[in-house]
Amino acid sequence: MQKNLSEALAYSQRWLEIIKKSEVPEDEGKWICEESKYNFAEHFNRGWLDYRKSVTEAGDWAATEWTGSGAIFRDVLGREYIDCLGGYGMMDLGWGHPDVVAAVRSQLGRTPMPSQELIDPLRGVLARLMAEITPGDIKYSFFAASGTECIEGAIKLAKMYTRKSGFIVAVKAFHGKTMGSLSMLGKSDYRQPVGMMYGGPVYHVPFGDADAVERQLEICQKVGIDIAACLFEPIQGEAGGIVPPDDFWPRLREMTRHYGVLLIADEVQTGLGRTGKLWGVDHWDVVPDILSVAKSLGGGVMPVSAFCSTEEIWQCMMFPNPFIHTTTTGGGALACSAAIAAINVTLRDRLWEQAAAKGEFMIPKLKELVAQYPQMFYGITGKGLLIGMHFHNPEVGYKVAAGLFKRGVLVAGTLTSAQTIRIEPPLVITIEQLSAVLDRLSDTLAEISKTL
């Protein structure tokens, strides 16, 4: 049955007029809140709203974001919040960094997308920049839009190069939710409902347990199961900033070479300064065979991801079929302009050093709160500005997230539990803003402790 398109035309026109506004009056702002909640419930995902109850508890009009700058964002009614979530690592440069926005705006005025047939210069520029900033002899890159896409590419590259099909990955790992990435993911919440995963053998071992990885490699060799690669996050992000023992990554590098297995670093969340080093693996001076990065690569302005590797490994991407792995929209001119600007800002402002210093300020003070409220806290983990606050149960974590939002601070639990709350602000957040977060967290904990 043909639908009446006049309503869609009028509705889209109304929203285009709203999009052009920098600010909206209060009555229109409240309409936007109600309209947004209705649209999410009826046309996007009703469960999405239920998951964010810790935010919506702050008031009927509290859940609709509108604009921001640096580590501060404002809702549609103009109220300000300190962002300690950072888009799950996407907002390293903060909200709407002017240098990144300016680059994208300039490119937008010239050509938003490439022809796909001729050479678009920015894709080559970004690939060269990646070669110059990634560890070791990594030289080639392929660009997509999301983290799961670059993990899919890394898996495919490892299989093509080694002509093997097995992988060793970590329990509680998070690598994405498309089917190949999901097969590597270490959480039953997302795997079980889907059923059959990737066809090759995938073995999960405890994160940070080098002995377990070595035993699995040895067993696979003895029984004749070929392993293409070991895939790990340098520091587990979705699990709550879990840092492995210092011998883990060096031993991974040693044993993968011994067994003829590739080493893949999932730097989707840890890359480009988040943990206090430019790359997460830099904490242990390890060079992986394949590296994947996304989230902050687009500067918080455009979606862009990359998987990168050495010239030797990349041969199977170029010969005999240079179109063995392609995407129509990945690595478009707008995305590349954003990434070029984001890399420039990161290097110019040495944001990894800022992350290290701010983490050294934040983590000891959080541990003081653990000592003050042992009945609530299990502990603090993390490096740089990838920090996990671990509570004894999800109920406390939920109350902390809700209490902070009521006090103008945005945090969130992991995708499986509010038991772990992440502190993952933009790297440009100031010490003064972090101090305000600590004060508001202290007030929140004091309030909750009275109810326990």
- 442 in any annotated domain: yes
Final residue in a domain of this structure, among 332, 348, 364: 348
The mean predicted confidence, pLDDT, of the chain is 94
- 230 in any annotated domain: yes
Kind of pairing between the strands at 305-310 and 138-144: antiparallel
pLDDT of residue 87 exceeding 90: yes
- Same domain as 420, residue 316: no
Final residue in a domain of this structure, among 348, 371, 397: 348
- Same domain as 76, residue 126: no
- Same domain as 229, residue 216: yes
Residues in the chain: 452
pLDDT in tens, 51-69: 766 565 665 556 789 999 9
pLDDT in tens, 129-180: 999 999 999 999 999 999 999 999 999 999 999 999 999 999 999 999 999 9
pLDDT in tens, 218-255: 999 999 999 999 999 999 999 999 999 999 999 999 99
- Same domain as 319, residue 180: yes
What pLDDT is recorded for position 3?
82
For residue 377, what are the domain limits?
25-84+351-449
pTM equals: 0.96
Task: Tell me the CATH number at 317.
Answer: 3.40.640.10
What pLDDT is recorded for position 2?
76
What pLDDT is recorded for position 293?
98
Section 284-288 average pLDDT: 98
pLDDT in tens, 357-369: 999 999 999 999 9
Section 312-336 average pLDDT: 96
pLDDT in tens, 181-217: 999 999 888 888 888 787 789 999 999 999 999 999 9
- Same domain as 417, residue 393: yes
- 130 in any annotated domain: yes
- 270 in any annotated domain: yes
- Same domain as 341, residue 296: yes
Final residue in a domain of this structure, among 292, 316, 348: 348
What pLDDT is recorded for position 418?
76
- Same domain as 356, residue 328: no
Number of domains in the chain: 2
- Same domain as 107, residue 78: no
- 20 in any annotated domain: no
